[in-house]
Amino acid sequence: MKLSEKTKRRFRYGTNSIVLTVVVIVVAVIVNVVLESLPLTIDLTEQKLYSLTKDSIRLLDNIEKEGKEVEITALYDRVRGEADSRQSVVIKMLDKYDRYSNITVKYVDTDKNPAYVVNTVGQERASEFSKGDYIVKSGDKIKRISSKDMFVTQMDLMSFSEVLVGYSIEKSITSAILYVTSEEIPKIYFSTGFGERNIAQYSELKKNIEFINFEVDTIDLSKDDIPEDATILMFLGPKQDLSLKAYENLSKWFDEGGHHAVFMMDYDISGTKFENFNKIFDMFNLRINNDVVFESPNYHLSNLPMRFDATTKTAAALSKVPETKIKVFETRTIEVLSRTNDYVKADAIVVSSPEAKAVPIVEGSNLDENKGIVGTHVLAASATYTRPTSSSKILLTGSSLNVRDDYVSVYSNTAGSVVLYTLQWMHSSLNEGDYIPVVSASSGSAISVTDKQKDMLGIFSIIAWPACILIVGGVVWFRRRHL
């Protein structure tokens, strides 16, 4: 029987509709299977809150290649944690670490298993841990991460309560993993013998130094010799010059090689010249000047010409760090000496704008901006002093205010990261570029899909979406059935 043209069209449209529906269903099934196998998190945060940084990935890859096993235990129930908006963010980041073959993440409810902590860390250390904390363990080495260490909070002056302003999840976890897998932990001594500011004024810096796995202690070099276990010495805003004894000890210490120091030299309106300090800096082709920088209105903070934006340079201690803007406060300038030799290399790593003015400090006189020298001034420099066995390195800056708590709490993006990257550059075990992330906080919002939402998405893909296609196809067929 010969079919009419109208019947042929109906058959053709009907066949096309069936084929299209089948294709849509097949594609939906495939998409659902793929989605089921993926950890769906769409990271839209400015700081990549749900993503590991390249520094962490490089470090974790190296640890995996070395075959070092790491166990991370969260001391709470995972299901309950996922129900908490803040805790769920931590869990999603822990899942990133759990994908490494040598890293195991597990969750233990200490209410149901109260003996777990004692059995894992021992009776002596068990009292350090509380519910909600994290145990990071590799072999016999153990590191505690407090539940508070995952979050960044600040005091709300209106409600007098702490509010969440960001996260420090990656920094805490990666730091702990490096600690438990490292064969040695270097030690930093803060100098206290030359009028330096109290270390309590730099609590945020101290905390971040401990995060990147340095032990911290203090030493009075005006009375004591440099300890044998000292890897790095740090001078924060000294007001007095080095004593002859301290100068001789430091000079000998650097000559031995393998020893490093950070000098953050605040400006002094009284005109302290730091002659013995400069003898040390001279070994590294550097000199601290007796002046203070005034910036032009194009760069300084409102009505505060001695507080301004400076620029980091991708060189030496910051060779692996992109150039960026940081805020500096009441800073001296540094002279990078032009002497040429094969064993000393000095580089500027933070500079002012070309419009900045370095105003000399003359004892007994007021600052006279008219006598200032205009130009691009060095505000921080790093240098390497190469010895036959190993090299010594220093960081010299014209101010310590960039890392002091009262300034850090008010101003963002200060020089704290410069110090932390430099410390890692100094320590030889990190010279291959295994930097721990030094960003102290992440913030923002993210789109993430839970397992329940994933199931709903699967139902939509397999049932709801094909049903919509069938309904639309039916409507189209019904309206065109007479064509």
User: Can you give the pLDDT at residue 247?
Assistant: 96
Domain-located, residue 437: no
Within this chain, do residues 292 and 395 fall inside the same structural domain, yes or no? yes
* 3-state SS class at 346: strand
Give the pair of three-digit tokens for residue 16: 């096309």
Q: And the tokens for 50?
A: 């749900």
Residues 255, 172 share a domain: no
CATH of the domain at 280: 3.40.50
Q: Looking at the structure, tell me whether residues 376 and 417 fall in a common domain.
A: yes
Q: Is residue 431 part of a domain?
A: no
Domain count, the chain: 3
**The token pair that represents 112 in the structure block:** 């149901």
Kindly state whether residue 33 falls inside one of the protein's structural domains: yes
Q: Are 320 and 456 in a shared domain?
A: no
Nearest CA-CA partner of 75 in 125, 123, 139, 135:
135
Based on the fold, state whether residues 128 and 258 are members of the same structural domain. no
Q: Indicate whether 419 and 459 sit together in one domain.
A: no
Q: For residue 471, with 0-12 CB atoms within 10 Å meaning exposed, 13-18 middle and 19 or more buried, which class applies?
A: exposed
Q: By the 8 A CB rule, do 151 and 167 touch?
A: yes
Q: How much is the CA Rg of the chain, to the nearest whole Å?
A: 30
Q: Which of 262, 232, 237 is CA-nearest to residue 332?
A: 237
pTM (2 decimals)? 0.71
**Distance in angstroms (rounded) separating the CA atoms of residues 81 and 95:** 13
pLDDT tens, per residue, the chain with 483 residues: 555 555 555 555 556 656 666 666 666 666 555 555 544 444 434 444 557 888 788 889 989 999 999 999 999 999 999 999 889 999 999 999 999 999 999 999 999 999 999 999 999 999 999 999 999 999 999 999 999 989 887 766 677 677 887 888 988 898 899 889 988 888 999 999 999 988 999 998 998 898 888 899 999 999 999 999 999 999 999 999 999 999 999 999 999 999 999 999 998 887 788 999 999 999 999 999 999 999 999 999 888 999 999 999 999 999 888 899 999 999 999 999 988 788 999 999 999 999 999 999 887 667 877 788 999 999 999 999 998 888 999 999 999 999 999 998 888 777 788 999 899 899 854 444 445 554 434 433 333 444 455 455 555 555 666 666 667 666 655 665 555
Q: Could you tell me if 131 and 242 lie in one domain?
A: no
CATH of the domain at 126: 3.40.30.10
Single-letter amino acid code for the residue at 405: D
Q: Are residues 225 and 240 in the same domain?
A: yes
Domain assignment of residue 270, yes or no: yes
Asked whether residue 229 falls in the same domain as residue 352, the answer is: yes
| 82 and 108 co-located in one domain | yes
Angle between helix 54-65 and helix 169-181 axes, rounded to 10 deg? 30
Alpha-carbon distances, residue 297 vs 292, 312, 355, 357 (angstroms): 16, 20, 9, 12
Domain of 167 in residue numbering reads as 54-184
Task: Supply φ then ψ for residue 70, to 5 degrees.
Answer: -130, 135
Question: Residue 211 falls within a domain, yes or no?
Answer: yes
Same domain assignment for residues 69 and 19: no
Is 434 among the domain residues?
no
Q: Tell me, yes or no, whether 386 and 412 share the same domain.
A: yes
- Listed in sequence order, the residues at least 6 apart from 282 whose beta carbon sits closer than 8 Å to its beta carbon are 337
Largest Cα span, the chain: 117
